[in-house]
Amino acid sequence: MKQSSLFREIHEQPDVLRALIDQEAAHIRRIAGRLREREIRHVVIAARGTSDNAATYAKYLFGAVAGLPISLATPSLYTLYERPPRLEDALVIGISQSGQSTDIVEVVREGRRQGVPTLAVTNDARSPLAEAASHVVDIHAGEEKSVAATKTYTAQLAALALLASFWVDDAECVEAIERLPAQVAQTLALNEAVANRAERYRYMRDCVVVGRGYNYATAFEIALKLKELTYVVAEPYSSADFRHGPIALVEGGFPVICILPAGRAYDHVFKLASDLKERDAELLVISEQDEALDLATTCFHLPAGVPEWLSPILCVVPGQLLAYHLTLAKGYDPDHPRGLRKVTDTR
């Protein structure tokens, strides 16, 4: 059976991350040095779709590592309403794998018009987004043929992690990033186990994906992959927000995907998972912690030793594999989800 583009691209991620580190790290270091020379007091990030989930990761990353307040841009203010906000003392970042989204490009252009530093994180260094920005980070993911973004997402996260690490000039953080390609390769060893479990969820119509902190973004990204590939109504939540009403959804057998790597957020999500187990929920757990995996009906065992701030790059991989194999189990085409195109032009 011929492998799909999506399968190949999921499994290319270790090589993509290595290429990014080898080919772009020195350039990102130079960009970080130039940005440190500016009076940057906050960061504004514009993105859509999968890239918007990378932006959510960046909110936690730059806040925790660099101590900078982060806001996500409202692109319609720049395009539909033509009322862009004042951006003084900001760094404006546009994140887009294609670099083609008109409204993301316009946010970056407006930042440049207002004289603030601008940065494009993209897989096309010749795209309109790259042309609009004063600095460009090429994520070096190569052509991504599948509509569902996988390798470009993890490369975006790694590029942002490198930028934050160089911003604060932390060599230990950079060394941790350099270990990621091997750790992602270890995570991909789950493929056969995930394939064997996918049939169990063939008739799943809805589910919830729960994470917190850095992995709030992962909850959104896994939910997005399930929606666009398997047509399951997958709703993402932080473990805190889920208790404020949505937990009423849970009854016996209701599927909940819990993202539970070690770190500051672990105890909060573990307590929720334990409570959901008492409600007889069907738990799918992504973790390296035995006590968390013991709660699960379906386990996705992560490599140990990954710091929490980098864990989203690993935690999303089991979700990608689950979405891929569940798509096959349901009899759908993983490379051509219905009604979707690779490049979505939003204005």
Using a pLDDT cut of 70, give the percent of the chain over it.
Answer: 97
Q: Which two tokens stand for residue 136?
A: 């460009």
Residues 202 and 323 in one domain: yes
Residues 160 and 226 in one domain: no
Mean pLDDT of all residues belonging to the chain: 95
Residues 119 and 212 in one domain: no
**pLDDT mean over 97-106:** 94
For position 243, what pLDDT does the model report? 87
Tell me: the pLDDT tens digits for 237-280? Answer: 999 998 898 888 899 999 999 999 999 999 999 999 999 999 99
**pLDDT mean over 107-134:** 97
Tell me: the pLDDT tens digits for 43-100? Answer: 999 999 999 999 999 999 999 999 999 999 999 999 999 999 999 999 999 999 999 9
Residue 2 pLDDT exceeds 80: no
Domain finish residue from 148, 178, 208: 178
Q: How confident is the model at residue 111 (pLDDT cuts 50, 70, 90)?
A: very high
Residues 48 and 104 in one domain: yes
Residue 338 lies in a domain: no
Residue 337 pLDDT exceeds 90: no
Residue 288 pLDDT exceeds 90: yes
Residue 304 lies in a domain: yes
Residue range of the domain that includes 313 = 184-329
Residue 23 lies in a domain: yes
Residue 212 lies in a domain: yes
For position 308, what pLDDT does the model report? 98
Residue 343 lies in a domain: no
Residues 165 and 244 in one domain: no
For position 248, what pLDDT does the model report? 87
Residue 323 pLDDT exceeds 70: yes
Q: How confident is the model at residue 153 (pLDDT cuts 50, 70, 90)?
A: very high
Residue 340 pLDDT exceeds 80: no
Residues 247 and 301 in one domain: yes
Residues 119 and 248 in one domain: no
Residue 162 pLDDT exceeds 60: yes
For position 292, what pLDDT does the model report? 97
Residues 250 and 122 in one domain: no
For position 343, what pLDDT does the model report? 57
Residues 150 and 238 in one domain: no
What domain count does the chain have? 2
Domain finish residue from 115, 147, 178: 178
Residues 206 and 272 in one domain: yes
Residue 185 pLDDT exceeds 80: yes
Residues 18 and 166 in one domain: yes
The CATH number that applies at residue 245 is 3.40.50.10490
Residue 342 pLDDT exceeds 90: no
Domain finish residue from 144, 178, 212: 178
Residue 345 pLDDT exceeds 70: no
Residues 62 and 83 in one domain: yes
Residue 51 lies in a domain: yes
Residue 346 pLDDT exceeds 80: no
Residue 147 lies in a domain: yes
Residue 231 lies in a domain: yes
Check residues 1 and 199 and name the one with the higher pLDDT. Answer: 199
